[in-house]
Amino acid sequence: MYIDIELTPNPNAKKFILDEKFSKYKIYKQYNSIEETEDNLLAQKLFSINGVKSVFFLNDVITINKEDNYSWDELENNIKSIILENLENLNSSGLKNNDNKKIDNEKINKINEILNETIRPGLAMDGGGLEIVELTDDMKLYVKYHGACGSCPSSTLATLTAITLILKESFDPKIEVIPV
């Protein structure tokens, strides 16, 4: 097993890319604390490293966000070792998509379709993701960034602007996109 490490636009996040798919499921899961990791032993082990702020799984990529006061030099080798030693724990966990916030209606489905075609591929390349949290009746769309995007300054400015413009043009000119 080989792990490639790539930079992201967020200096506090790096992508750890495995040379093979490590699960038969499409995985999309964000953890912001060790308390959230009860279903994932690999994520628990990664949080045992001082300086790890969040862990994001997207298929064969694990994006790690670090605390500001830690350097990648002191974290990278520990992260790689834990991934290699505990990868089988991810395979057996049966993780699938974040189903706890599955929103099923025509408007959300259309927005997801637009985001899947335009925004999400770029976010994934940068080690991140985007989840729709809520769409209100007055067209306020609440979104949550994951992975490298969760703490990246460009996600709150450039990416948010792009999402808003695309959705205004392709979905509804009255939509307002709000990060949570």
pLDDT surpasses 70 at 150 = yes
pLDDT tens sequence across 35-80:
999 888 999 999 999 999 999 998 889 999 999 999 999 999 999 9
Confidence band of 92 (pLDDT split at 50, 70, 90): very low
Q: Where are the alpha helices (DSSP H) in 137-176?
A: 153-154, 160-170
Give me the mean pLDDT over the 26-34 stretch.
88
pLDDT confidence of residue 24: 57
In the sheet that holds 13-18, the strands lie side by side as 3-7, 13-18, 61-66, 52-58, 28-31
Confidence band of 27 (pLDDT split at 50, 70, 90): confident
Cα 170 to Cα 138: distance, rounded to the nearest angstrom:
17
Cα 23 to Cα 10: distance, rounded to the nearest angstrom:
26
Rg (CA), the chain: 17
What residue ranges define each of the domains in the chain, with the CATH number in brackets? 3-91 (3.30.1370.70), 99-179 (3.30.300.130)
In the sheet that holds 128-135, the strands lie side by side as 128-135, 140-147, 176-179
Cα 137 to Cα 127: distance, rounded to the nearest angstrom:
31
Q: How far from chain centre, in Å, is Cα 180?
A: 14
108 and 132 in contact (C-beta within 8 Å)? yes
pTM for the model? 0.74
